[in-house]
Each structure stands twice: as structure tokens, then as C-alpha cells.
Amino acid sequence: MTSFSAARMAAVFLKELQQMLRDRLTFAMAVGVPVLQLILFGYAINTDPKGLPTAVVAADGGPLTRSLLAALQNTGYFHITAQPASEAEGDALMARGAVQFMLVVPPQFERRLVRGEQPALYVAVDATDPAASGNAIAALNLVATQALAHDLSGPLHALQPRAPPFELRIHRRYNPEGLSRYNIVPGLVGTILTMTMVMLTSLAMTRERERGTMENLLATPVRPLEVMAGKILPYVLIGYLQLGVILTAAWALFEVPMAGSFALLMAMIGVFILANLAVGFTFSTLARNQLQAMQMTFFFFLPSILLSGFMFPFRGMPHWAQMLGELLPLTHFLRIVRGILLKGSGFADLAPELWPMLAFLAAAGALALARYRQTLD
């Protein structure tokens, strides 16, 4: 047996390096994925969201109330975006996900406070994602003790007892116990479907090409749209089968409630499945082999789970990251599935999240069809 040869090793090294550089997609993934992770984890991910949209229902708008609201915004956690006329209007905003907090200032709040009666302020919190509101709730308790310290001076100095001059009654809506599984398990419906639907469909056409059966398919009179529909529909059934398994486990093992319409959930999930299958079909027309199809799937899946609000609070991300997240179907589907399961949201509440998914489905489907026509040529 001959001894180790550095020259022979160098020849194999150069051959492998040239082969790797020829595969531009694989090389781009090897460089692009670490860069994408650095950017997302370094700039986009934030576990301490601030500037949370807040609705204020103020039946008493005196100077002490204004000082309280100013102190609330000075914490950085609250951004007053709406001042509904009634608590019912504020409830509707929270049900749609337009606000995270709602503060209700009762009538004669200042009069009762000056009398030392310790009036109560009602705070409703959208607790579907406990991580998004935990630090903000802690800041509320600090506001209760310090917000009016400057105003309660001079003749009102006696109203600065050791206890807060008013009471905060915090109600965690939709998830009173703050259970993280109520947020994670519904989110898993979207993430599992995203990963499996895109991956399975992206492998469909590349498998045909690698096995040599693509030529037989192209020789048939089947039109591109018919091929696309025929390839996608079996995976729709698989998606609903996966959904049945996940929802059964959610109810039986994790006791996740079903507050809304099961039929509405099925319809919304159908749109989401089709959107992901269209992405997978597009990848299958771009990839030359199954390895490249898997790489594209991972490159799509990574920003989906990081920018959608599944792993980290969506409102904690900077504006540019939120804009990117709004382009992903998973972002809107997470709001839909959590809204139906936890909030009991109806179609009117979820319609703003449905249209972006339909637009994504149309765009991805048109691109997949155009790419498949090029393959025919």
C-alpha cells in the first residue's frame, strides 16, 4: 500500500471544489443561510416588544388621567393607537388583533382618587402570546406607584400613601392563566404544514426528473394547469390528515380550546395549504435535483418561523422585519388559527388576514405555472 500523497489529495480537493462552485445554488445556500441567520437573529429578533398598540376608553379626561396616560407611554411599552368611545368598541379592536391592551378609565376617576377612595382602572390584555405582554404588564405595576407622584404634591401630598392611589385590575383575555402551550400548539399547525407541504411538493417534479419519467409526462396531452392541480391535490389531503392529528393532540393532550367555528378553520386552512403547495411547486420547477429542492425549502422555512411571530413576538421586531413578515402566509395564518381557537373570531375579524394569503397564492401559482411552461419548452 502506497504512502499518503499530498499531491493526490490536492487533486481530489481541487476537483471537489470545482464541482461545488459549479453548483451555484448549493454554494449560494451555504453562504446565504448563515448570513440570513445573522441578520434575523441580530437585528430582527427581540423578546422584549415595546410600542404595543393600546386602546384607551377614557370616561374621565381630567389632568390626572392625562398624566397617567403620559406615564403609560413613557414606559415605552405602550403606544396609544385608538381611543374608542365605549368598551365594546375596544373589545372589537382586541378581537381583531388591532390592539394588544385596552385601558378603561371609569367615570369620576379623578374625583374618587382625590377623595382617597382608590378607584379601579380596568386593563384588558390580549394574552394569546404571553411572551409579548409579560414585560408590559410588569411595567403597568410600576406606573401604578409612580405615575401620579408629581401631580399628588402640595395640598394633595397626603394622597401619596405607601399603597398606589388607584387599583389596577388586569384581565388576561383568551389565555387567563398565561399558558404558553395555548400559543405554541396552534402555531405548530402552521409551521408543520409549511414545512411538509413545501417540501413534499418541491420534491414532486424533481423526483419525476431524476427518475426519467418527466419526459413521459411531457409527452402526454395534459396541460400545465392540469399537471399542477393533479400534483397538488393529493398533498391537500395529506395536509388535512396532518391537521387532524395535530388538532386531536391539541385537544386531548394540551387542552387547547376551540372557541370559534371548526368549519371556518377548515376553510382557512385550505387556503393556507394551497399557498404553501404553490411555493413547493415553484421550487420543483427551479431545482435540478431533490437536494436543491430541500435547500430551497429550508431557505423559505427559516424566515417563515422567525418572522411570522411563531417563535418570537411579532410586534417586537423592527418595522422592516414586520414588513417582510407580512409577505409570508404563515404570519397571517397564525393570527387566523389563534383567533379561531382562542378568541372565537369570525370571518369578519379574520378577513384582513385572508386576503394576503389569497394574494400570495395567486402570485405563487402564477409563477409556478409560468415556470412549468418554460420547462415544457
Of the listed ranges 20-29, 189-198, 277-286, the least confidently predicted one is 20-29
DSSP 16-50: HHHHHHH-HHHHHHHHHHHHHHHHIIIII--SS--
- Dmax (CA) for the chain in angstroms is 100
Q: How confident is the model at residue 117 (pLDDT cuts 50, 70, 90)?
A: confident
Q: What are phi and psi of 121, to 5 degrees?
A: -105, 130
Percent of the chain at pLDDT exceeding 90: 23
Domain limits, the chain: 52-173, 181-376
Distance CA 67, CA 247 (A): 47
User: Given this model, what pLDDT does residue 146 score?
Assistant: 65
Whether the per-residue pLDDT at 101 is higher than 70: the answer is: yes
Please give the angle made by the CA atoms of 286, 292 and 297, to the nearest 5 degrees.
85
Dihedral, CA of residue 353, residue 372, residue 210 and residue 30, to nearest 10: -50
Most confidently modeled of 46-55, 171-180, 229-238, 347-356?
347-356
Residue 52: strand, helix, or coil: strand
Whether the per-residue pLDDT at 334 is higher than 90: the answer is: yes
Overall fold of domain 52-173: abc type-2 transporter like fold (3.40.1710)
Averaged pLDDT of the chain: 83
User: Given this model, what pLDDT does residue 148 score?
Assistant: 55
User: Given this model, what pLDDT does residue 178 score?
Assistant: 82
User: What letters, b where the CB count within 10 A reaches 16 and e where it falls short, cover 321-346?
Assistant: bbebbeebbbbbbbbbbbbbbbbebe
User: Given this model, what pLDDT does residue 100 score?
Assistant: 92
